[in-house]
Chains A and B, each alone.
Chain A
């Protein structure tokens, strides 16, 4: 089978581009495994990890939501933000996690709860992805 061309793009830069064998994406309705010649699809992504397999090599990219577009010749991920697993700044992520927890714990009048929860979810997932790819 011919490999699929995968591009992971955020508004700031191209995060990943390569010809790969398998892509597993965190779709909004659950994990989505993509092999070459997948049917054209367009879906929303949730915060999570994109796992890529190319021969023996495995890569992992963290994304905080976005879109997935699959066409005959390529797979394009439009990420809101993200980075390759080895580039995750764990210190920053754990600080973000503490901040979010603090905000949720002391819930004042003007606390934006969904926003804090999202931030918590993002930082926890980031840490998990970094941990798994050590």
Chain B
């Protein structure tokens, strides 16, 4: 059994750990709120862009858009690109390992060689360790993602795609379902598949005049669409990371308090034992004196 001093030290160290985890939980909570707000703030842009795309897609299907844009061209997949979006920092429960496991599983099921673009240190460390073909690495994203962070990532895969060094590009990111659930999600970025789902079209039947012409507008629109999807993945990552950390730190704080309770019990027992022994000593000493 540890000495009373050791127990006291232990209690103190657990207490200070719980203060740290508690602070981290509160920080994560406030960052999560901000991240959720930016997800909401980005929604009107996304909706408007997708509306236009579905309108343009219908035209291109009906043959009004003559030249097919290189970003729409479907090729046989000889090389596959994957953007893996992961957190920079740990202490976020199982988020990083879940993401890496999902990415690894996806890569291992591909029949063609896979090139990887990593976003976030956790993913880049993992992909380096598992010796994947890494094209580019981006870090320092998940705190407060900005659109300017998404642009270079989107540009790399578009360049590779147009150059023909990637024939299909996917993005893997943690989708924020709610505070406790984040699911790894895979989406095909390139070639862009125009959804002919007319239910998303909020302005049906409007015959837009496209200026200068539908083809030019389409080629301006598609790169923005890729950027937007990458940006969206970053925002989902940010919300997921902060909420996962919040939940993990909450559990850690609770565990620390429980541990402090258990330790205090042991400490009190030990203290009482000492007092009892001392008392016994005194009483037996007095009894011995009285006898003599």
Chain A residues near B (Cβ < 8 Å): 7, 9-14, 27-29, 39-44, 67, 69, 71-72, 76, 78, 80-81
Please tell me if the beta carbons of B147 and A11 are within 8 angstroms of each other in the complex. Answer: yes
Given the known interface contacts A43-B217, A44-B220, A69-B52, the answer about A28 and B212 at a Cβ–Cβ threshold of 8 Å is: yes
Judge if B176 is at the interface, Cβ distance under 8 Å: no
CA distance A44 to B213 in the complex (A): 10
Judge if B77 is at the interface, Cβ distance under 8 Å: no
CA distance A29 to B220 in the complex (A): 14
| Residues of chain A contacted by B217 (CB below 8 angstroms) | 42-44, 67
Please tell me if the beta carbons of A43 and B210 are within 8 angstroms of each other in the complex. Answer: yes
Chain B interface size, under 10 / 10 to 19 / 20 to 34 / 35 or more? 20 to 34
Choice from A12, A42, A44, A69 contacting B147 with Cβ under 8 Å = A12
| Interface stretch (choices B8-16, B40-48, B132-140, B251-259) | B40-48
Please tell me if the beta carbons of B48 and A40 are within 8 angstroms of each other in the complex. Answer: no
| Residues of chain A contacted by B45 (CB below 8 angstroms) | 9-11, 78
Q: How far is the CB of A47 from chain B (nearest CB, A)?
A: 13
Q: Besides the contacts A41-B210, A41-B211, A80-B147, what 18 more A-B pairs have beta carbons closer than 8 Å?
A: A7-B44, A10-B147, A11-B227, A12-B41, A14-B41, A40-B206, A40-B208, A42-B217, A43-B212, A43-B217, A44-B212, A44-B220, A67-B220, A67-B224, A72-B206, A76-B48, A78-B45, A78-B224
State the majority secondary structure of interface residues on B.
Answer: helix
A-B pair number, CB within 8 angstroms:
71
CA distance A11 to B235 in the complex (A): 11
| Residues of chain A contacted by B44 (CB below 8 angstroms) | 7, 9, 14
Choice from A7, A67, A81 contacting B52 with Cβ under 8 Å = A67
Q: How far is the CB of A29 from chain B (nearest CB, A)?
A: 6
| Residues of chain B contacted by A78 (CB below 8 angstroms) | 45, 48-49, 224
Nearest-neighbor residue (CB-CB) of A74 within chain B:
B203
Please tell me if the beta carbons of A27 and B211 are within 8 angstroms of each other in the complex. Answer: yes
CA distance A52 to B212 in the complex (A): 23
| Residues of chain A contacted by B46 (CB below 8 angstroms) | 11
CA distance A10 to B45 in the complex (A): 6
| Residues of chain B contacted by A72 (CB below 8 angstroms) | 206
Please tell me if the beta carbons of A40 and B207 are within 8 angstroms of each other in the complex. Answer: yes
Judge if B146 is at the interface, Cβ distance under 8 Å: yes
Q: How far is the CB of B154 from chain A (nearest CB, A)?
A: 11
Contacts of B29-66 to chain A: CB distance below 8 A: 38, 41-42, 44-46, 48-49, 52
Nearest-neighbor residue (CB-CB) of B227 within chain A:
A11
CA distance A10 to B212 in the complex (A): 22
List 30 A-B pairs, Cβ < 8 Å: A9-B44, A11-B231, A12-B38, A12-B41, A12-B146, A13-B38, A27-B211, A28-B211, A29-B212, A39-B209, A40-B207, A41-B209, A42-B208, A42-B209, A42-B210, A43-B210, A43-B211, A44-B211, A44-B217, A44-B220, A67-B52, A67-B220, A69-B48, A71-B203, A72-B206, A76-B48, A78-B45, A78-B48, A80-B147, A81-B147
Shortest Cβ-Cβ A-B pairs, 10 listed: A43-B211, A42-B208, A13-B41, A11-B45, A41-B209, A9-B45, A40-B208, A11-B147, A40-B206, A44-B220
CA distance A39 to B212 in the complex (A): 15
CA distance A78 to B41 in the complex (A): 13
Please tell me if the beta carbons of B211 and A67 are within 8 angstroms of each other in the complex. Answer: no
| Residues of chain B contacted by A12 (CB below 8 angstroms) | 38, 41-42, 146-147
CA distance A41 to B55 in the complex (A): 12
Nearest-neighbor residue (CB-CB) of B37 within chain A:
A13
CA distance A42 to B49 in the complex (A): 12
